[in-house]
Amino acid sequence: MKKRRAQNEAFTLAEVMIAAGIFFLAIFAILELVSNTLRNARGLQQMKVDAGMVAAQLSLTNRLYEGGQSGDFGDLFPGYTWDCEDNEVMSNGLHQVDVIVRHRFGHEDVDTHLSILLFRPESPPGRASGSVGGAFPR
């Protein structure tokens, strides 16, 4: 008969530390990969520019002046321009504002249109009030 020796079947401290080191290296590599992927995805997102941005700016004013106005978005959105046409529709200060935002995309122009009505009784009289015609102040 053979005698069986009792063997210790436990891991040594060195083996456990090496396994933990490999585990943490793998976890940190995965976290770095996820972090880089999220950063790259954020970089690909572009904020959409539309006519609502110009309309929101106009809605903050107390007075509107009949006529046209144009501009751009500066360094924030290069390549985008906007045109705005204001017409008084009723003599009580109701104005229709038509906004167009233009952007060159490849070989074609992409336009965004928006028409809004704004009630601004403090505005100077326009065509609907009998005035010959006003313009935006320069």
Whether 95 and 59 share a structural domain:
yes
Q: What is the pLDDT of residue 85?
A: 92
Q: Does residue 135 belong to any structural domain of this protein?
A: no
**In sequence order, which residues have a C-beta less than 8 Å from that of residue 120 and are 6 or more positions away?**
61, 62, 63, 64, 93, 95
Q: Specify if 106 maps to a domain.
A: yes
Residues 118 and 55 in one domain: yes
Identify whether 33 is part of a domain.
yes
Domain co-membership, 57 together with 38: no
CATH of the domain at 59: 3.30.1300
Residue 44: what pLDDT? 82
Q: CA-CA distance, 7 to 86, in Å (whole number)?
A: 92
Closest CA to 119 of 54, 69, 63, 66: 63
Same domain, residue pair 32 and 69: no
Please give the tally of structural domains in the chain.
2
* Residue 31: per-residue pLDDT: 96
78/111 same-domain check? yes
Tens-level pLDDT at each residue, the chain (138 residues): 566 655 667 889 999 999 999 999 999 999 999 999 999 888 787 777 888 888 888 888 888 888 898 999 888 888 888 999 998 888 788 889 999 998 877 777 788 889 999 888 878 887 766 665 444 443
Has residue 41 been placed in a domain? yes
Q: Which two tokens stand for residue 81?
A: 């321009």
Same domain assignment for residues 39 and 55: no
Task: Give the pLDDT confidence score for residue 137 in this predicted structure.
Answer: 46
Question: Is there a single domain that holds both residue 76 and residue 110?
Answer: yes
pLDDT recorded at residue 120: 83
- pTM value is 0.57
Domain holding 38, by residue range, is 11-45
Which pLDDT value is given to residue 2?
A: 60
**What is the predicted pLDDT for the residue at 89?**
86
